Structure 1
Amino acid sequence: MTAHKTGTREEWLAARLELLDAEKEHTRRADELARQRQELPWVRVDKDYRFESEEGPASLADLFRGRSQLIIYHFMFGPDYTAGCPSCSAIADGFNGFEVHLANHDVAFSAVSRAPFAKLDEYRKRMGWSFPWASSHGSDFNFDFGAAHTKEEWDSGLARYNFAEQDIRPTTAEQQSSLDDFAQSIVDTDWRTYRSEGPGMSAFAVQDGTVFHTYSAYSRGLDGLWGMYQWLDRAPRGRNEDGVWWRRHDEYDK
């Protein structure tokens, strides 16, 4: 017998209709937040960022691929990683394949990481993904848009992430060892190397040949991009998690 509250179909329907009102209010609030995002002032991008893509060397404007809007996912894959971050990989499983729909709605999409392109492309093939993925190796792009931290930021304890300065260094030798073990298990690096990257997304627009930065989000601001969580939030036990339970999709049997 389940320990969860049970009831009749009539009781369920009454509770569901009450919840529906709350869901509709949540939807209306989400619509309002989307409007506020679109009303943010645009900031001109003056730096000449360079990338390596499937088509060869590219500028930020080239990543638009003829569209007027561009969404970039800052995928955690540093130069010294042996594989992409499992969390970013789970998010990528959710957005793989939909770039064709965005492209036909005047929105280009690309993931961007600091690892060399050959390493990204090899991992993409392993994962069976098709979305565009560019390397910003040697560029300031990830640092300037809040998705990577410099040595100076790390040493000072003032790494800027999610619009605030954070000290992401371990505070004890025990924590250092635990975090190093975690990083070693997922990308074969120590914690400092792993967490010098951060997940995020940024949006851009191009107008009259000028590129503008319009929006960025990090941390829980990426929650809506985790496709699996949108389904789990509607499952009977919700997210039902304690720590990191997900894996790269080809590693669950291991």
Structure 2
Amino acid sequence: MATTKQPLPSIVSSEEWKLALDQLLIKEKALTRARDALSAERRKLPMVKVDKNYEFHGDEGPISLLELFGGRRQLIVYHFMYAPDWKAGCDGCSWVADAMTHPAHLHARDTSLVMVSRAPLEKINQYKTRMGWTIPWYSSFESDFNYDFGVTTADGERHGASVFLRNGNDIYHTYFTGARGIEYLGSFWTYLDLTPYGRQETWEDSPEGWPQTKPYEWNRRHDEYDV
């Protein structure tokens, strides 16, 4: 039976490999220091007070933005794309949710992590059960929350992450990132970036013949790859 030969990286001696790895490590360390400097700038960003009252719906009933903190000082909200008329949650957002950390590690640093979508709670819970997630997930249905924070626009839904800081009962919005900024959140993309073939997407600068497909066309929800 005919087979297609896969392209491979160059095969070298252990000494040559170690030299190439050490050279790459210099650049990786520079990137780490640059990322640390950027994180320091992020920590010094000004913030804006949230004066509006928002109501969300969870299994415990109606809940306020303040209550989403769970008594902690910091709150990270992942804006999960799931419009009220969608049959399922966004497949890309599902990747992000699959990779989310155990909350205990965030709680140890006085930080809560929740997801918020515009879909009604019943739809959210059905999809959450299908995906096997335990992440706190709330509905902002009939709330201005998504609109006010720029993740539901005239052009449709966007994903993103908002960070909030609580000082007593006062809430402040300190940071937002969207689009590829979400990749930084411990996602599977960061794992794939470590591999020889990378993400295997056409935009990447890879050697000729490397396996590649268009972005956003190959990834699936984790229970759909065999369909």
TM-score when normalising by structure 2: 0.89
Deviation at 1:231, TM superposition (A): 1.1
Distance in 2 of aligned mates of 1:4 and 1:201: 36
1:252 aligned residue? 225
Alignment check: 8 A CA contact 1:78 1:115 kept: yes
Summarize deviations over 1:101-126 as a string: whole Å, max 9, x none: 21222001100000011110111011
Among 21, 26, 30, the alignment partner of 1:25 is 30
Distance in 1 of aligned mates of 2:48 and 2:81: 24
How many residues were matched structurally?
209
Q: Secondary structure at the match of 1:206?
A: strand
Deviation at 1:226, TM superposition (A): 5.6
Give the root-mean-square deviation of aligned CA atoms.
1.3
Distance in 2 of aligned mates of 1:248 and 1:100: 25
Counterpart residue type for residue 52 of structure 2: K
Q: Secondary structure at the match of 1:122?
A: helix
Within-5 A mapping of 1:164-183: none
Q: Secondary structure at the match of 1:67?
A: coil
Q: Secondary structure at the match of 2:93?
A: helix
Among 10, 31, 41, the alignment partner of 2:15 is 10
2:60 aligned residue? 55
TM-score when normalising by structure 1: 0.79
Among 138, 151, 157, the alignment partner of 1:197 is 157
Within-5 A mapping of 1:1-254: 4-95=9-100, 97-149=101-153, 153-154=154-155, 196-225=156-185, 227-241=187-201, 242-243=213-214, 244-254=217-227
Alignment check: 8 A CA contact 1:70 1:204 kept: yes
Distance in 1 of aligned mates of 2:168 and 2:74: 13
Structure 2 alignment gaps of length 5 or more: 202-212
Summarize deviations over 1:117-136 as a string: whole Å, max 9, x none: 11101110110000000100
Distance in 2 of aligned mates of 1:8 and 1:250: 41
Counterpart residue type for residue 54 of structure 1: D
Alignment check: 8 A CA contact 2:80 2:160 kept: yes
Residue identity (%): 45
